[in-house]
Amino acid sequence: MTKSEATDRITTLRQELELHNHRYYVLAEPMISDQQFDVMLKELEQLEAEHPELADANSPTQRVGGDITKSFVTVVHKYPMLSLSNSYSREEVAEFVARAEKEVGRTTYVMELKYDGVAISLSYLNGELVRGVTRGDGEKGDDITANVRTVRSIPLKLRGDFPKELEARGEILFMRAQFDKLNAERARNGEELYANPRNTAAGSLKQQDPKDVAKRGLDNFIYTLQGEHLPSRSHYENIQAAHRWGFKTPDPKRRFIERADSVEGIMAFIDHWDKARHQLEMDIDGVVVKVDDRNVQEELGLTAKSPRWAIAYKFQAEQAVTRLNGVGYQVGRTGAITPVAELEPVLLAGTTVKRASLHNADQIAKLDLHIGDFVKVEKGGEIIPKIVGVELARRVADAAPVVFPENCPECNTALVRYEGEAQHYCPNEHACPPQITGRIEHFVGRKMMAIDGLGGETVVELVRAGLIHNVADLYDLKKEQLLDLGKGWGEKSASQVIDGIAASKAIPFEQVLFALGIRHVGETVAKKIARSVGSIDKLISMGKEELTGIDEVGGVIAQSILDFFAVEGNRSIVERLRETGLCFQGEAQQGPVSDLLAGKSIVVSGVFLNFSRDGIKASIESHGGKVSGSISKKTSFVLAGADMGPAKRTKAEELGVPVIDEEEYRRMIGA
């Protein structure tokens, strides 16, 4: 066979195999037998081996797995993958609709199933899959493209009239039959069974060898598209277009997706699936309600964590009754004491539950728990087990009440409870063993200092060996000290840790601030603070009033920051970290281009000719203005683009707020 003939045959085989793959895994309408498919696939594999210059990352042969991935690269999402606001209350769904319609007037909604799997973002360029990325923290995730290619319901090449660039987002999951088949095979081999489909899907996608992922038989549903040139401003119509391009999408014929223009229509969809969900071939844990019109979505906007145009209604969790054998107490890295119920093992929602969180002393008192009680257990969000009630009729007469301890179970220090907080804390932060290890484990984590080779067990080993007592001690470690520990430590593992510690000196200030483990200062708040104050010195010098002036920093967080730096031990550690070369200085924020809009509060609505949605907001802020999400008497003016919501226009007129167009805005800023 000549090279030209081989090229033609390879092209033909790839097209035919993708067609048959789509008909089998997406449409469930196979045209040929499995044996015929395998014969064609083997022919393609042989031709590709003979002509490596014709290799294609999106060839059907790649669905059986490519090269081993030793690590997953972190990728920043072009469009943030925000989480949805969750609700277990139908009243809250109705309130969501009322809020939206108060803002934009009557609109149409799309209801979809909430798949119980792993969120994934798939990027396509010229119709070919170029990247598959996990949700991660919403701003960035792990590139798992090689593993994604093994999921046969994900198209490697699109068909039809698709945009040049687009992102398809959905859920990778196990169908129940495939999950049961996987567990049956493990049972035959005498292996421990997997707990549930969702966790197993997540673990599968992080396998280093794509060939192992290919054997799992994962599936996928696409539930949204992102891009500049989507075919419609209707979310529902875009999903139908995605189906035509080759994606596996919610089936309208099976009521997996529907549209409604009223609360009654939304509730009818919820009622149907609350009863029918157990008949599905995959797990769902609720229903997602979205505004259909993408223009209206943009008008409603986002919060820091979730869109204002969507809500997830979660089905009530399954419950089980079991015996409370005892209560243990865990000490977290911040000193928080968490009571944990020790239960008689019970099967709940597909997993065996032995322990459940009791949250705090107030929860124990509210439940009036006694040892030996028969308690009702459910999974909050069908994930975390919790006790929700007690069967008092079954309590024995001499049952001892559960008493919250007065002293730390680890170091015996008297516990404290801060005003306005539900939890008790051990204040012995620099000598309480779990706090020491917990703070170090937090510090070295992937979202913090990202130090390779330092997991929880290793940190505990180093603390027990007396090599480290706090995070600053990490930077004094020598490779010889690790090698002297003996078993489990070789040249490679010791070098990995030392190199990882050295590399962490390049971590930006916002991550270093998060890594310090200040109570209540999570990842998002740490970013806000770092970008606002610019340096650790500035932060240490600030008072409570200044701190509360930072976006998302309230009184509780401000006080926690003040308390942290009031402790000499914490200040000493920060100074030692500074001396080792850690970054405690952020990049200087760009100042405003002008003060033409200083003191003005501006509401943006509609679509603009010369600006993207984010671009118009950035422009306002660069000239000293502040962008507000809602119109009030304090609004200086409304900047209106095409398709401005009628409700906002009406409200502006009622309050006498000026409405200007894009051209007038450009004249205002001298553009």
Could you give the CA distance from residue 447 to residue 445 in angstroms, rounded to a whole number? 6
Could you give the CA distance from residue 125 to residue 131 in angstroms, rounded to a whole number? 9
Do the beta carbons of residue 334 and residue 435 sit within 8 Å?
A: yes
Torsion of CA 519, 523, 529, 530, to 10 degrees: 120
Tokens of 17: 């195999």
Q: Tell me the pairing of strands 626-628 and 601-605.
A: parallel
CA 571 to each of CA 317, 481, 536, 574, 625: distance values in angstroms, whole numbers, following the listed order: 45, 27, 11, 5, 37
Provide the 10 A C-beta neighbour count for residue 660. 14
Rounded to the nearest angstrom, the gap between the alpha carbon of residue 437 and the centroid of all alpha carbons in its chain is 26
Half-sphere exposure of 50 (CA within 13 A, CB side): 14
Could you give the CA distance from residue 506 to residue 255 in angstroms, rounded to a whole number? 51
Rg, Å, the chain Cα set: 28
Residue with tokens 């995070």: 471
Could you give the CA distance from residue 237 to residue 249 in angstroms, rounded to a whole number? 12
Could you give the CA distance from residue 385 to residue 379 in angstroms, rounded to a whole number? 4
Could you give the CA distance from residue 219 to residue 471 in angstroms, rounded to a whole number? 42
CA 446 to each of CA 202, 463, 578: distance values in angstroms, whole numbers, following the listed order: 17, 20, 20
Question: 592 — alpha (psi -120 to 50), left (phi > 0) or beta?
Answer: beta
CA 249 to each of CA 116, 119, 184, 374: distance values in angstroms, whole numbers, following the listed order: 15, 14, 29, 44
Do the beta carbons of residue 578 and residue 509 sit within 8 Å?
A: no
Buried b (16+ CB within 10 A) or exposed e, 497-507: bbebbeebeeb
Q: What are the start-end ranges of the H helices in 149-233? A: 176-188, 197-205, 210-216
Q: Which amino acid is at 566?
A: A
Cβ burial, residue 242 (10 Å; 0-12/13-18/19+)? buried
Q: Which amino acid is at 439?
A: R
Please spell the DSSP secondary structure of 414-431, one letter per residue: BPB--TT-SS-B---TTT
Task: Count H helices and E strands in the chain, helices first.
Answer: 24, 20
Q: Which amino acid is at 202?
A: A
Tokens of 556: 């509780």
Q: Which residues contact 251 (CB under 8 A, 6 or more apart)?
A: 257
Question: Which H helix or E strand runs over 20?
Answer: helix 3-25
Q: Which amino acid is at 288?
A: V
Catalytic residues: 114
Residue 110: strand, helix, or coil: strand
Residue 341: strand, helix, or coil: strand
